[in-house]
Structure 1
């Protein structure tokens, strides 16, 4: 996602303090989600219970991702150097996944028996859910870690962290986007059965994903070129 460092602020300004607190909170939350996912996925896979990943991590994932809606406001009011359009696109797609796809249709990932316990079902949904956990989580740990370092430790971020910030999207974006699309596709059947028109929304979003993904991917590539070019000029 977009930059969450202030547009113009002194290190001790209220804006700087607020954004540091925001980024630090998000870093902590995403670290918890991602580390738990890394620990749970191999164990649950070995037990054939990967669907149990949803009840274990979805509540925290849903609210952690919801907090990111503040980033659209940050961009709109000029609190940070970020494009409101690209920020809104990134946040909206994830909000759709957590609040519509997974919150309304959890059966695409996990089914429960009469005792309310998870039952084994299709492996496609659980794999896609694991995909968004790892792709989103890794991306956000790097991103928020970058901003926290820059705001609280030094404006000069270590080259390794900078490289991760502007390079890992080559792998993580395709994983995250394909997992999101797969979850939306799986939700189409139960959405049709529900009969409230959500299937039309999901179909429309799936169509938008192709040009939308291209815009976001090329935006990140442009950011990467700008950072690499800037480093080249400074050496």
Structure 2
């Protein structure tokens, strides 16, 4: 899904051994740097009126690698490096992996986005919709992950999280989560046509994914709100 509940990658108590703490600090710092680079590149190109398909072609290789790195978070949960539910973490990471590998990568050339920006059938308006869907994902994911990984890097390292950063962590999802979910759904819908030509059964898989997104998004959104209340209550 677009953004992750505040429990994801939550660290274990400060009794962690130094090597575990160092590893998690480096992992979160690296993820922060990669997401910041993706987001800054995309926004810089957008500011210079670069066509959206060209933004995709320029940013996507790094975005693909950056999002794929998050697969480690499932391993972190399985081996107990972080205090996050395995199933929830796996579902959250899987939804992003589907978007970057199963849609953006699979249909990048003359498909949903990328290439010359033309979707199957050559309908230009649909091409623009797919490009805006990608842009929405980039902004929502990028800003969310910069805040999240920065928060955890500071938290795990023991340096302490500034109050303003914690505020961003527990409040920006109100806007970024709906933006991300909407953009992801747009990408899935735009992939239905190319998927039908490539492999009809894959199209029905994507239809099923859309059916899961609506209830799944509501559950995660309300869960994030509940986690925010708990986190702010601890601070009081």
TM-score of the two chains, using structure 1 as the length reference: 0.88
Q: Which residue matches 1:179?
A: 183
Long gaps (5+) in structure 1: 114-119
Long gaps (5+) in structure 2: 118-123
In 2: Cα distance, 1:211 partner to 1:17 partner: 37
Bigger mean CA offset, 92-101 vs 2-11: 2-11
In 2: Cα distance, 1:178 partner to 1:5 partner: 26
After the TM superposition, list the runs of 4 or more consecutive aligned residues in structure 1 that deviate by more than 3 angstroms.
8-12
State yes or no: 1:38 paired with 2:43: yes
Bigger mean CA offset, 33-42 vs 175-184: 33-42
State yes or no: 1:75 paired with 2:80: no
TM-score of the two chains, using structure 2 as the length reference: 0.88
Q: Kindly provide the CA deviation profile for residues 119-169 of structure 1, in whole angstroms up to 9, marking residues without a partner as x.
A: x773111111110111000000000111111122524x2111111101111
State yes or no: 1:139 paired with 2:144: yes
| 1:77 to partner: Cα distance | 2.1
Secondary structure, counterpart of 1:80 in structure 2: coil
Q: Which residue matches 1:229?
A: 233
RMSD: 1.8
Structure number with greater CO (CA < 8 Å, separation at least 6) is 2
| 1:195 to partner: Cα distance | 2.4
In 1: Cα distance, 2:131 partner to 2:47 partner: 13
Return the match for 1:98 from 73, 97, 100: 100
Return the match for 1:213 from 198, 214, 217: 217
Q: Which residue matches 1:169?
A: 173
Q: Which residue matches 1:84?
A: 86
Q: Is the 8 A contact 2:10 2:83 kept in 1?
A: yes
